[in-house]
Amino acid sequence: MNRDDPASWSGEPAEFDDYAAGYEGGLDNPVKRMMGNSADQFIAVKTRWLLRREPKLRTGGLAVLDYGCGVGSLMRVLAETGARADFTGCDISAGMLRQVEKRWPAKLGKTPVLAPQQGARTPFADGQFDIATISAVLHHVPVAERPAVYAELGRVLKPGGRIYVFEHNPRNPLVRYVIARTPIDRNAILLDPTEVRHGLLDVARYDLDTDYLMFMPPGLAFLRSVDRALTWLPLGAQYVVAARKPA
């Protein structure tokens, strides 16, 4: 990776390759394990939100990019909970992409299309995707290099397409505690949703919304209605900025 390239970020792919084979979504942290007994429970909070927001994900025909897909967990849990999209994943880590292929269940059909990133850049065509998701990625990207990521997401999105940015909420003190003690997040710089909104608006005149997620332990299904009632409150462990590109 060229560190002088403004479209690349300084975290080497090897940093993430080191975690690829045993990656468990941060559950090496004992505090996070107290909140849920599997990484999928945390991811399912996001996938349920996406399926409510994008009901056509269940019917097929949407081209979806998971940018910085890691081991493919978001795409896999979406598929396991009923999404029938055409999934594509990209990541700067070849090790993570190899894990997508290894972990994708045969019962879900073909493995998503996978491609390596060169820093922020992807090999995809302009306007290729209906939806782009980027989940817990931006806090790994140095602040000065995040504009290149916003620009790339906008480039590959169709007119009228949607971007969904999921991130850890720095306003939540438990989140800050966990991130500071999780090895893969040792270089993380958390970001407020205001930064995401401004970064996206520097690229295009998006229509924007922000919801807050994960107020309750994700393993407790009977409390999901509480989470849904509190999406306006800026204290959830996660947030999502939704952006619709002008048609």
Q: What is the pTM of this model?
A: 0.88
The reply to whether 72 falls in a domain is yes
Q: How far apart are CA 126 and CA 65, in angstroms?
A: 13
The pLDDT tens digits for 47-74 are 999 999 999 999 999 999 999 999 999 9
70 within a domain of the structure (yes/no): yes
Given pLDDT bands bounded at 50, 70 and 90, which one contains residue 185?
confident
Residue pLDDT, tens place only, 83-119: 999 999 999 999 999 999 999 999 999 999 999 999 9
Q: Is residue 8 part of a domain?
A: no
Residues 6 or more apart in contact with residue 135 via CB below 8 angstroms: 43, 46, 66, 68, 74, 166
Range(s) of the domain holding residue 240: 13-244
The string of DSSP codes covering 118-138 is BTTB-SPPTT-EEEEEEES-G
Instruction: Return the pLDDT at 5.
Output: 38
**Is residue 4, in this structure, part of any structural domain at all?**
no
Q: Hunting for tokens 């975690």 — which residue is that?
A: 19
> Tens of pLDDT along 84-94?
999 999 999 99
- Res 140: pLDDT: 92
Q: pLDDT tens digit string along 19-34?
A: 566 556 554 555 454 4
In this model, does residue 17 exceed pLDDT 80? no
pLDDT in the model for residue 84: 95
220: in domain: yes
| Domain assignment present for 141 | yes
- Specify the CATH number for the domain of residue 134: 3.40.50.150
Q: Is 115 exposed, middle or buried (0-12, 13-18, 19+ CB in 10 A)?
A: middle
Residue 51 covered by a domain: yes
Tokens of 233: 């409150």
Q: Specify the number of domains making up the chain.
A: 1
The burial class, CB within 10 Å (0-12 / 13-18 / 19+), for 213 is: buried
203-222 average pLDDT score? 92
Q: What is the Cα–Cα distance from 177 to 83, expressed in whole angstroms?
A: 33
Q: Is 243 exposed, middle or buried (0-12, 13-18, 19+ CB in 10 A)?
A: buried
Asked whether residue 2 is assigned to any structural domain, the reply reads: no
